[in-house]
Structure 1
Amino acid sequence: MSALFSLQGKTIVITGGAGLLGSEFTRVCIQHGARVVIVELHEEKAKSLIASVRKEIKTAEILFVKCDITKEKDIQNVLIKTIREYKNIDVLINNAYPRNAHYGRNMEDVTYEDFCNNLNMHAGGYFLMTKKVIEVMRKQKKGNIINIASIYGILGPDFRIYKNTPMTMPIEYAAIKGAIVNMTKYFSTYAASYGIRVNSISPGGIFTDQPASFVKKYCERVPLGRMAKTKDIVGGVIYLASDASSYITGQNLMIDGGLSVW
């Protein structure tokens, strides 16, 4: 059974691979035997993560490539360096979270230009990365793509839980994550004949020291009674990245403590 979930010998490219979720994905993929390519804009974060991982796992095969996923030349550089180093790409995890300086405002304060800019950067970046990686995987006649979406790509937000906090659910986020869920379905049927699987994961709210009033209200809406931890998401990633999910494509795995079943 353990072999079914093994990532031994697989080359996994992780965008945003040194971020909140990405760093967990990087660690657990390496722990399960994968070679990992961290695709990041933040060089110091990536180097710090690599040093930490290599301290824990001396034999870790890990490569960092600086990349802006909205720039085709940067993505091409990722592909060239990955193929040169590891010969192929088995799995792409689209996890980057690009956004501009105005992201996260209340809906009334979001300009058309900022809305479009954030949508283009995030959903557009996932499109571009997926498109270019499919070109590589098509030649291999196999591949696996996992897109990190969100419950808010499926569900409408309950704005009552944000009351009396500086937080909100950005309109851009809902539009972006909804687009990612549906792009996943599109790419899954488009690429199926090339032996490529495409799925998405939609995490629920992840605890990052949010205001106590928000956490309380959020947890009251979750059947399991708590927010997610980053470690809660990695099991779904291992499952979808491994051969255990070899007959699964076009699906959106909700990891939300049951919030979406109400």
Structure 2
Amino acid sequence: MLSGKTILVLGAKGLIGQEVVQHIMKKNGHVIAADVTSDETASTNITTHVCDITSETDIEQLLNQYPDIDGIVNCAYPRNSQYGTDALEVSSSSFNENVAIQLGSCFSLLKHAARHFKSQQKPLSVVLLSSIYGIKAPDFSIYEGTSMTMPVEYAAVKSGLIHLAKYFAKYINDSNFRVNCVSPGGIENGQPAPFLSAYKDKTLGHGMLSAKDICGSITFLLSDEANYINGTNLTIDDGFTL
């Protein structure tokens, strides 16, 4: 599906990023794996690169270094130490900082990706990771009996990402520059049993997803099979939002 394509994956060492990298390689794509730290990887299908997505300079230099990329997947998830505080306890400065480093960094990425496309005039597909909580209000009942919450910054950022994708797709106004979102349901990552059970009751039976469960949709949007799919948000949640 991705044979001959070079895909830049930002946040490549994260929970989702690692699986996306492996899936792209299985589809015969070459990966540029970028994160704030880098490990040397012995493979002909992967190039590692250090990049801080919150640095506009890093983003610009990275895209300049790889002019022949065919796609970009943003799996990066930068946040400050106060992230996840109860909504009524979040300070305005902390909220603003998290929105800036998450949504703001994605804006910088899209801006430079658009410039890159206009300069290279080569088809480019960008995939952003939004969330079910970018399209619906949180279901706070599933957090009862746990210390978990749905961060208010998360909801603000994920909804903003969906509109940013639409904005840039329309602004560039070219079928060869595609920007789409994937909105997964919850990703299992060691959450407590009461939460997992409550979450599963809201789905059609599968419950929480694994990071692998969303990789097929991401690689589809990167591929030529998804030509003319633009400005779209693809929801993968086993019916959670029904």
TM-score of Structure 1 vs Structure 2, range by shorter chain: over 0.9
Query: Does 2:20 align with 1:39?
Result: no
Query: Does 2:116 align with 1:136?
Result: yes
Q: 1:72: which partner in 2?
A: 56
Ranges in structure 2 where 5+ consecutive residues have no aligned partner: none
> What count of residue pairs does the alignment treat as equivalent?
241
Ranges in structure 1 where 5+ consecutive residues have no aligned partner: 1-5, 55-59
Shift of residue 195 of structure 1? 2.0
65-74 or 125-134: which moved more?
Answer: 65-74
Query: Does 2:87 align with 1:92?
Result: no
Shift of residue 16 of structure 1? 0.3
Aligned 1:113-152 pairs, distance under 5 A:
113-141=93-121, 142-152=123-133
Q: Retained in 1: the 8 A contact 2:8–2:69?
A: yes
139-148 or 115-124: which moved more?
Answer: 139-148
Give 2:78's aligned amino acid.
P
Query: Does 2:42 align with 1:62?
Result: no
Aligned 1:229-240 pairs, distance under 5 A:
229-240=210-221
Q: 1:57: which partner in 2?
A: none
Q: Retained in 1: the 8 A contact 2:32–2:47?
A: yes
Query: Does 2:145 align with 1:164?
Result: yes
Give 2:80's aligned amino acid.
N
Mapped partners of 2:176, 2:108: distance in 1: 20
Mapped partners of 2:84, 2:52: distance in 1: 20
Alignment deviations for residues 102-153 of structure 1 (CA, whole Å, 9 cap, x no partner): 1011111100000000000000001101111211112232211111100000
Mapped partners of 1:187, 1:168: distance in 2: 31
Q: Retained in 1: the 8 A contact 2:6–2:30?
A: yes
Cα RMSD after superposing both structures: 1.3
Alignment deviations for residues 68-97 of structure 1 (CA, whole Å, 9 cap, x no partner): 1121221122123323xxxx1210111100
- Aligned counterpart in structure 2 of residue 226 of structure 1, from 168, 188, 207: 207
Aligned 1:180-191 pairs, distance under 5 A:
180-191=161-172
SS at match of 1:116: helix
Q: 1:11: which partner in 2?
A: 6
Mapped partners of 1:152, 1:110: distance in 2: 18
Query: Does 2:82 align with 1:102?
Result: yes
Q: Which has the higher helix share?
A: 1
1:214/1:77 CA distance change after superposition, 3 Å = same
Alignment deviations for residues 192-245 of structure 1 (CA, whole Å, 9 cap, x no partner): 326201110000001112100000000000013321111110110111011111
Query: Does 2:16 align with 1:21?
Result: yes
Give 1:256's aligned amino acid.
D
Q: Retained in 2: the 8 A contact 1:89–1:137?
A: no
| TM-score in terms of structure 2 length | 0.95
SS at match of 1:13: strand
Q: Retained in 2: the 8 A contact 1:138–1:194?
A: no
